[in-house]
């Protein structure tokens, strides 16, 4: 049995321990074979020497993170503990802000894979962001679009979704076409409202600088100098996906987001997203970023829900 005594002096120990010791308890649960105790600025641990060495390196990383950023979240703690190599370490420690939103809200990629999405979008003009609900893929994409518009890299933002949700039919919804479509596009409006002040956003929408529209409205267009996001792409058909991808014009950025496990198309209809992932996988100019339940940035229980459903589906297979 070996021992480790680790000194936290030099950082804010409240940040290390977290609210109601959340951070400290998560660290303890991540090393179940060690006996870990915390006392003020000291962390004591007993157990296997190899595991103690790993713990010490992770504590070094957490202390470094707090020293550089003066704060740390539970998600940051998770990310630090998952670091496997220097590339991942660089991504975790890179706290670059994507954009400052309404009321000074700081919007940045919260997980390693979301940071990969940011990097991939900076390098490539078309990127697929694939992953389950709650991983922040749409929100991060909208933030990237808002930044590109702010920096005059593009002249407009176009956000689109296929109007197919959970087997519902537009024809049975009340109101005119806009009123029928708005519920499907609401998550995109919500993200925009976090990033652009209300009056400015309304002006952008009125002048078509920002356009939120169903996928069918993209047909026949060439989208030049635009940052275009196709959300919920798993609900596109083969022809819809091909139509959308070929709308790409000069100086344009395309992000396609979707969750292949949540297809709402009729049973016999193939998902255009699943086909595109297979057909385009070898095109070097197109980026693919895959997110998992580990990237969930909603309530912690969402991660457990996704894990439970994944386990159930694997058992059925």
Set out the domains of the chain in order of their start, with CATH numbers.
2-93 (3.30.1370.10), 99-316 (3.40.50.300)
In degrees rounded to 5, what are phi and psi of residue 64?
A: -60, -45
Cα dihedral 304/310/313/317 (nearest 10): -140
Global confidence as pTM: 0.74
Report how far residue 256's alpha carbon sits from residue 130's, in angstroms, rounded to the nearest whole number: 8
DSSP conformation letters of 105-159: -EE---SHHHHHHHHHHHH-SEEEEE--TTSSHHHHHHHHHHHHHHTTS-SEEEE
Q: Is 170 helix (H, G, I), strand (E, B) or coil?
A: helix
Dihedral sign for Cα 4, 5, 11, 13, please.
positive
Each residue's pLDDT tens digit in the chain (317 positions)?
A: 899 999 998 899 999 999 999 999 999 999 999 999 998 899 999 999 999 999 999 999 999 999 988 889 888 898 899 888 888 888 788 767 788 888 877 788 888 899 999 999 999 999 999 999 889 999 999 999 999 999 999 999 999 988 764 344 455 555 555 566 667 678 888 889 999 999 999 999 999 999 988 888 899 999 999 999 999 999 999 999 999 999 999 999 999 999 998 888 887 888 999 999 999 999 999 999 999 888 887 777 877 888 888 788 777 76
Report how far residue 119's alpha carbon sits from residue 109's, in angstroms, rounded to the nearest whole number: 10
What strands lie across the sheet with 35-39, from one edge to the other? 2-7, 42-47, 35-39
């Amino acid at each position: 049995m070996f021992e480790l005594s680790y000194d936290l002096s030099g950082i804010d120990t409240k940040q290390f321990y977290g609210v109601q010791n959340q951070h400290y308890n998560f660290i303890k649960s991540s090393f179940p074979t060690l006996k870990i105790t915390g006392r003020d600025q000291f962390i004591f641990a007993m157990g296997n020497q190899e595991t103690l060495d790993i713990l010490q390196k992770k504590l070094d990383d957490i202390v470094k993170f707090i020293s550089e950023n003066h704060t740390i979240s539970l998600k940051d703690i998770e990310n630090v503990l998952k670091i496997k190599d220097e590339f991942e370490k660089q991504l975790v420690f890179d706290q670059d802000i994507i954009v400052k939103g309404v009321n000074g809200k700081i919007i940045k990629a919260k997980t390693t894979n979301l940071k990969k999405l940011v990097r991939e979008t900076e390098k490539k003009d078309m990127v697929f962001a694939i992953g389950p609900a709650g991983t922040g893929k749409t929100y991060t994409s909208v933030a990237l679009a808002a930044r590109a518009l702010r920096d005059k890299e593009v002249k407009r933002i176009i956000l689109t979704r296929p109007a197919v949700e959970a087997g519902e039919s537009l024809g049975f919804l009340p109101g005119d076409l806009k009123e029928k479509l708005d519920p499907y596009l609401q998550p995109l409006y919500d993200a925009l409202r976090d990033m652009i002040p209300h009056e400015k956003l309304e002006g952008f929408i009125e002048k078509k600088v920002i356009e939120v529209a169903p996928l069918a409205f993209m047909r026949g267009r060439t989208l030049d100098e635009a940052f275009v996001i196709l959300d919920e792409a798993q609900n596109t058909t083969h022809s819809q996906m091909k139509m959308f991808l070929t709308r790409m014009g000069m100086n344009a950025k395309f992000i396609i987001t979707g969750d292949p496990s949540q297809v709402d198309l009729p049973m016999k209809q193939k998902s255009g997203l699943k086909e595109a992932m297979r057909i385009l996988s070898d095109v070097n100019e197109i980026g693919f970023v895959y997110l998992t339940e580990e990237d969930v940035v909603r309530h912690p229980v969402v991660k457990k829900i996704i894990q439970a459903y994944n386990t159930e589906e694997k058992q059925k297979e």
